[in-house]
């Protein structure tokens, strides 16, 4: 038995999310079916981040255990062949230590949220960015975001269906910048509450539009009440950028 570590990217649009569901197509189930066709084994593919329906991934990490002895390039090529025509690609396969766990060994996760703030709607980026038809004040958004960095009770940014035991999380970085025609919000932490990034982005956009004052993000945080925050930003603007692990 060998444990393999996979690096993946996918377009979340067609999927009910990463995790296998009773109905609908998930990235996890699609990978497990590809493994079964390639190696003839029933496996569980464990993902490092449980992305929601519509959320994309640039650097999802997963692991699986296989009895069959395969070269890494054969496993990668075979999986990609069986994943077609779905918008999922295995970018890298490498042997992992038996104790490696894609989810529990992660020390840091980075998400990017992309916004197109122009009057004209997106064409090439349709379904991959949140279209806000007014120019955002990126500097105000970034300044407001700094009130959320650190260890806090993020109840105001937590989805009602969140299953985390505690609302306390440590946000290592929340950075807002303009990248060409887009506004990018990068959030980095060891772990996040359900919808936390999307709810923070929805709140910051209200500041960027001038609908709320600069100190509103802090007020929302201190309220510890989801109804105090801005709207939940659409899933299709969110990307799991990368997952970091201890060296070795």
- 101 falls within a domain: no
69 counts as catalytic = no
Domain that holds residue 145: 108-244
CATH number for the domain that contains residue 183 = 3.30.70.660
| Run of H or E residues at 62 | strand 56-66
- 167 and 190, same structural domain? yes
Q: Which of 68, 96, 124 is the last residue of a domain?
A: 96
- 140 and 34, same structural domain? no
- 87 and 35, same structural domain? yes
- 236 and 153, same structural domain? yes
- 119 and 89, same structural domain? no
Q: Which of 65, 96, 127 is the last residue of a domain?
A: 96
- 124 and 214, same structural domain? yes
pTM above 0.85, yes or no: yes
- 122 and 55, same structural domain? no
For residue 33, count CB atoms less than 10 angstroms from its CB and return exposed for 0-12, middle for 13-18, buried for 19 or more: middle
Q: Which of 37, 63, 96 is the last residue of a domain?
A: 96
- 119 and 86, same structural domain? no
195 conformational bin, left if phi > 0, alpha if psi -120 to 50, beta if neither? left
CATH number for the domain that contains residue 73 = 3.30.70.580
- 102 falls within a domain: no
- 103 falls within a domain: no
- 43 and 143, same structural domain? no
- 118 falls within a domain: yes
- 239 and 211, same structural domain? yes
How many domains would you assign to the chain? 2
Reading the chain (248 residues) residue by residue, the pLDDT tens digits are 899 999 999 999 999 999 998 889 999 999 999 999 999 999 999 999 989 999 999 999 999 999 998 999 999 999 999 999 999 999 999 999 999 999 999 999 999 999 999 999 999 999 999 999 999 999 999 999 999 999 999 999 999 888 889 999 999 999 999 999 999 999 999 999 999 999 999 999 999 999 999 999 999 999 999 999 999 999 999 999 999 999 86
- 199 falls within a domain: yes
- 84 falls within a domain: yes
Q: Which residues contact 95 (CB under 8 A, 6 or more apart)?
A: 2, 3, 4, 5, 72
Output the pLDDT for position 163: 82
Q: Which of these is catalytic: 11, 52, 117, 137?
A: 52
CB 34 within 8 A of CB 82: yes
């Amino acid at each position: 038995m060998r444990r393999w570590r996979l690096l993946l990217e996918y377009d979340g649009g067609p999927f009910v999310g990463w995790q296998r569901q009773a109905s609908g197509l998930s990235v996890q189930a699609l990978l497990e079916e590809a493994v079964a066709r390639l190696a003839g084994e029933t496996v569980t593919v464990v993902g490092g981040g449980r992305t929601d329906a519509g959320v994309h991934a640039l650097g999802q990490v997963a692991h699986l255990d296989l009895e069959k002895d395969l070269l890494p390039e054969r496993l990668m090529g075979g999986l990609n062949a069986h994943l077609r025509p779905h918008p999922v690609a295995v970018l890298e396969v490498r042997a992992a230590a038996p104790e490696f766990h894609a989810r529990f060994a992660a020390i840091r996760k980075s998400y990017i949220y992309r916004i197109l703030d122009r009057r004209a709607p997106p064409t090439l980026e349709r379904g991959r960015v949140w279209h806000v038809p007014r120019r955002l004040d990126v500097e105000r958004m970034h300044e407001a975001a700094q009130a959320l960095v650190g260890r806090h009770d993020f109840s105001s940014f937590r989805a009602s269906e969140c299953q985390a035991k505690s609302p306390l999380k440590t946000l290592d970085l929340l950075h807002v910048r303009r990248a060409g025609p887009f506004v990018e919000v990068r959030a980095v932490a060891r772990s996040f509450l359900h919808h936390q990034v999307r709810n923070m982005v929805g709140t910051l956009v209200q500041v960027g539009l001038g609908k709320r004052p600069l100190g509103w993000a802090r007020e929302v945080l201190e309220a510890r009440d989801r109804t105090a925050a801005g709207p939940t930003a659409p899933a299709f603007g969110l990307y799991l950028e990368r997952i970091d692990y201890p060296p070795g």
